[in-house]
A and B are shown apart, each in its own frame.
Chain A
Amino acid sequence: MNNIILLPVLIPIMVGILLIFLRYFGRTQAWFSIATMALTAGIAFYLLEKVQHEGIQRLDFGGWAPPFGISFVADSFSLLLVLTTSIVALICLMYALFSTGKLLQSMYYYPSVLFLVAGVNGSFLTGDLFNLFVCFEVMLLSSYVLLTLGGSKRQLREAIKYVVINIVSSWFFLVGLAYLYGAVGTLNMAHLSVRVAEAGQGPLLTTISIVFMIVFSLKAGLLLYYWLPGSYSTPPAVTSALFGALLTKVGIYALFRVFSLIFNQQPEITHTIISVMAALTLIGGSLGAVAHNDIRKIAAYNVVIAVGFILVGLAVSTPNAIEGAIYYLIHDMVAKALLFLVVGTVIALTGTAQLNKMSGLMKNYPLLGWSFFITMLSLAGVPPLSGFIGKVLISEGAIESGAYMLLTLSLLSSLFVLYSLLRIFKNSFWGETIISKEDQVPLNNRFLVPCLLLVLLTIAIGVGTEGLSVYVTDAAETLLNPDIYIDAVLEGAQP
């Protein structure tokens, strides 16, 4: 029992409620939420350290021992993601502090962001499948609000699509939960793992697992990503950054958790489907990224490519690949937030999102140009930036298990990432400047500082991989040996 695990969810919700009463004090709201995220990050780091020394922590609500009550379980994997979420949200909020107008701030922008973070953190920490659904919904409802704030025609149209798709996928989630409860009679993830192993994962359970796969793939943007580019490219830049960094990652987390812990008996079916979906996602994402002329769309398709890449790690499931996937997950949260913030800044400066209408920004805004350059290298996986180690380990894993097709596709996709971003770099930053000294919109440092912080973070993750590796190795070990998780959750309880 460890009550601190609840805090990364509880604190954002409590502060969010408080901020509702501070509706007309935009700055105060921003500083409050930034402080909240810093506090959450601190708590996540404290817990991460604690897990290294004392093993997996858990909290049984109301003292109901698992498998009967609802429980929160914190292992290294979830805490690493909670920590990254808090840090990324912190930096995005710094950007929001100066980029969002008075109108947006008085429409409960900051409370919505805090509720979103609470939902994301809750999804990472929960040890119960139904609770995962609830946290998903908390996250999704906040994301609906964030997506529609501003209320432009485009936003409303994309939001309808996004909301309906998510309602249908939540419906599938409930259907899966109903069948799973009917089949094995429990919803606690560790207990499910035990029950599924006892029953042997027959055709029925495999079918149920595929229902879950569809649900999480929809949320993660694995193969079923049709909704993603539209809805991620319409809201304000900082909202897209939050979405790109956090939302799909929750789906990926759920896929990793469910298919490494619960449905791990028939990898020849489930993991094959995942690998096919990952391959198709890589292809589709790559094509989308090079096809578009709108820089927001290009950035959104880069999210899709990354999802495919991380899921290659799960499909292969060797120790190296899982470890690589965790590194890449952390890297991608940072780098995607950075990419969307830089792209958003470019749009704010030039007033257009069309690639062929901008040129020579490097001359006017050198620092922004170089941060985009570093983002590009980081996403393409150039050492010593953060994407490198993940790519190497996933590729090693693919070689070990002989998945050469996946290996080829994932490496080719890196080239497509590089090409699509180089197109932005070449067209918008390089070349003859078309903005004269008089017309130049001054780039406010307040926009630049959050971007530079993320650049520093991506360099720090790349250079300081060794410091991070303790936690990542532990996280990968827990994912590969479900027994560690099960023992920690069910200890002292009669299953």
Chain B
Amino acid sequence: METIIILLVGVLTSVAIYLLLAKSLIRVILGTAILSHAVHLLILTMGGLKEGTVPLLGEEAESYVDALPQALILTAIVISFAVTAFILVLAYRAYQELGTDDLNEMRGVNDE
């Protein structure tokens, strides 16, 4: 199971990097979103994908799942939501002001 997830992380990361290198700003944003998904899966996998019950004393099960990676990615997901929301608004404003979403053309703006 770990192997498959790690492969998935690899695929997601390469897709994300392909998108990040694109010229269009909206693709870059999608790239950052996929990038964060990849790392969330990585955190989950590095904690070990065990089978077991919730880590509560009353359960008296054979094995428990490590709850920490899940707590970590929960926080990380919230943060990446916030950042994605921000950068989407930023892209919209930049499109309004600069009249383009092409990163190459943005360089040519001259108001200095």
Contact = CB atoms under 8 A, between A and B. Distances in A.
Given A160-B90, A168-B35, A174-B39, A130 B97 contact: no
Interface in B85-111: 86-87, 90-91, 93-94, 97-98, 103, 106-107, 109, 111
Contact of B42 (A133, A157, A178, A187): A178
B11 interface: no
A148 interface: yes
A133 B97 CA distance: 32
Contact of A130 (B36, B75, B82): B75
Q: Which 10 A-B pairs have the closest CB atoms?
A: A182-B46, A178-B46, A156-B94, A178-B43, A174-B39, A178-B42, A167-B32, A137-B79, A157-B106, A153-B97
B76 A153 contact: no
A154 interface: yes
B104 to A, nearest CB: 12
Contact of A181 (B39, B40, B47): B47
5 contacts: A134-B75, A145-B86, A160-B25, A160-B90, A170-B83
Interface string A195-235: 00000000000000000000000000000000000000000
Interface size class, chain B: 35 or more
Interface string B66-86: 001100100110010011001
Interface string A147-180: 0100111101101100110011011001101110
A177 B72 contact: yes
A141 B47 contact: no
Interface string A294-307: 10000000000000
Interface size class, chain A: 20 to 34
Interface of A: 130, 133-134, 137, 141, 144-145, 148, 151-154, 156-157, 159-160, 163-164, 167-168, 170-171, 174-175, 177-179, 181-182, 187, 294
B72 A182 contact: no
A35 to B, nearest CB: 28
Interface string B26-56: 0010001001100110110111100000000
B35 to A, nearest CB: 5
B60 interface: no
Contact of B94 (A157, A168, A182, A294): A157
B75 to A, nearest CB: 6
Contacts of A182: 46-48
Interface string B9-28: 00000000000100001001
A349 to B, nearest CB: 19
A145 B91 CA distance: 13
Given A164-B20, A171-B39, A175-B42, A144 B86 contact: yes
B59 interface: no
Contacts of A187: 68
A145 B89 CA distance: 11
Contacts of B20: 164, 168
Contacts of B46: 178-179, 181-182
B112 interface: yes
B39 A175 contact: yes
A182 B68 CA distance: 12
A432 B42 CA distance: 63
B60 to A, nearest CB: 21
A347 to B, nearest CB: 12
Contacts of B109: 153-154, 157
B42 to A, nearest CB: 5
B106 A160 contact: yes
Given A160-B106, A167-B36, A170-B79, 12 more contacts: A137-B79, A144-B90, A148-B93, A151-B93, A153-B97, A156-B98, A163-B87, A164-B32, A178-B39, A181-B46, A181-B47, A181-B72
A442 to B, nearest CB: 27
A137 B77 CA distance: 12
B2 to A, nearest CB: 10
Given A137-B79, A160-B90, A160-B106, A153 B39 contact: no
B90 A148 contact: yes
A156 to B, nearest CB: 4
